[in-house]
Structure 1
Amino acid sequence: MFIKTLKIKKGFILRELGGEFCLAYEADTNNGALDGLPSINETGIFLWDQLEKGCTPEELVSALVTKKYLDREDAEADVGEFLAKLINGKVVDYTK
């Protein structure tokens, strides 16, 4: 993984809307999901929770391997896809 550090930007939260979880900006008066970040599945919820605890990308992969009994390659792919969405949505600050 090419990302060394990762931190959720202030004000972004995981919110339940209509029975589904999505990422939102807490100051959003429309209470809507962020563009380009549709509902988040169980794996995404787990990874978000780990990010809130301050996990590094490598720790996210290890946590996913342990939690979901995935092989490392599949966990890296899942984490990479999730982080790419967060980065593109400007939800996180990161360093390479």
Structure 2
Amino acid sequence: MIIQKVRIKEGYILREFGGEFNIFNEKDGAGAVISMNSINELGCFLWSRLEKHATYNELIQAVAVRNDLDEEESRMEVEELLAKLINAGVVDII
């Protein structure tokens, strides 16, 4: 499958809680998404880009510039977080 766009599913938000950033589902009010550990600084950066509807390629480019990485290293960073978000059911792949 070729990834073009990634969208955060409705109701999911990133919030700071107890000094850590976690993803919460506002709809069920059950607290942080259990299958997701706290989100690191890069994860927060990517989440903010997803909220602005960045494409997959835009995510890779943004990480490359931000972290001074080549495209392959940036792609690996992006795909690692996206895999976690997909497995947790937090995002849709379009």
TM over 0.5, yes or no? yes
1:93: Cα distance to partner?
1.3
Aligned to 1:23: 23
Aligned to 1:9: 9
TM-score (structure 2 length as normaliser): 0.92
Task: State whether structure 2 residue 89 is matched by structure 1 residue 79.
Answer: no
Q: How many residue pairs were aligned?
A: 94
Letter in 2 for 1:48: W
Counterparts of 1:11-90 in structure 2, within 5 Å, are: 11-30=11-30, 32-90=31-89
Identity %: 49
- Per-residue displacement from partner, 1:17-55 (whole Å, max 9, x unpaired)? 10000111113434x210211100000000000000000
1:94: Cα distance to partner?
1.1
In structure 1, stretches of 5+ residues that fail to align are: none
TM-score (structure 1 length as normaliser): 0.90
The root-mean-square deviation of aligned C-alpha atoms, in Å, is: 1.4
Letter in 2 for 1:57: Y
In structure 2, stretches of 5+ residues that fail to align are: none
